[in-house]
């Protein structure tokens, strides 16, 4: 299972890396480029914290937490059954963690750029790594509900 999980993780990491590279190369920082009217925009920013800018300016703490979670996940995947569900969910989590960890180590912040606005409320700006982490967590939660229901 580790090989398939790592293929997913590396794919997510590369997609995150390439998307950040091109967005931040060709669109000036803090410039909002609307793609779908006032709903979806590309808006490159620097995030010095975690989700919703929590733990702002706590880069070392966030790096430490990311490394601990990454080690835990690498140990955990060896104990999981070899299922599509498992290698997708853990691969998404690991790839997303690596994408944001790379930013924290290299830039000292995370590069975010995906922006949605719902009824004049701008949702938190995020990136591909953040999406992968959220989807991975949701899959793991769903899978645990499915396993529990089967019991």
Told to judge if 57 belongs to the known catalytic residues of this protein, a careful annotator would answer: no
89/135 Cα distance (integer angstroms): 7
Q: Which two tokens stand for residue 82?
A: 């070899």
Q: How far apart are CA 54 and CA 68, in angstroms?
A: 19
Catalytically annotated residue among 30, 103, 112, 120: 112
Distance of CA 20 to the CA centre of its chain: 12
Rounded to an integer, what distance in angstroms lies between the CA atom of residue 23 and that of residue 44?
7
16 a catalytic residue: no
DSSP letter assigned to residue 134? H
Q: Within its chain, how far is the Cα of 132 from the centroid?
A: 5
Active site residues: 112, 130
């Amino acid at each position: 299972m580790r090989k398939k999980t790592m293929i997913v993780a590396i794919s997510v990491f590369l997609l995150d890396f390439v998307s950040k590279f091109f967005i931040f190369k060709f669109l000036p920082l803090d410039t909002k480029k609307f793609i779908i009217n006032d709903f979806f925009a590309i808006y490159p920013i620097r995030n010095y914290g975690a989700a919703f800018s929590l733990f702002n300016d706590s880069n070392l703490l966030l790096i430490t937490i990311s490394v601990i979670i990454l080690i835990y996940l690498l140990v955990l995947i060896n104990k999981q059954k070899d299922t599509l569900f498992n290698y997708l969910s853990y691969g998404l989590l690991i790839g997303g963690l690596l994408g944001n960890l790379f930013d924290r180590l290299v830039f000292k912040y995370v590069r975010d750029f995906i922006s949605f606005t719902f009824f004049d409320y701008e949702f938190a700006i995020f990136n591909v790594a953040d999406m992968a982490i959220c989807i991975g967590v949701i899959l793991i939660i769903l899978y645990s509900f499915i396993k529990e229901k089967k019991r």
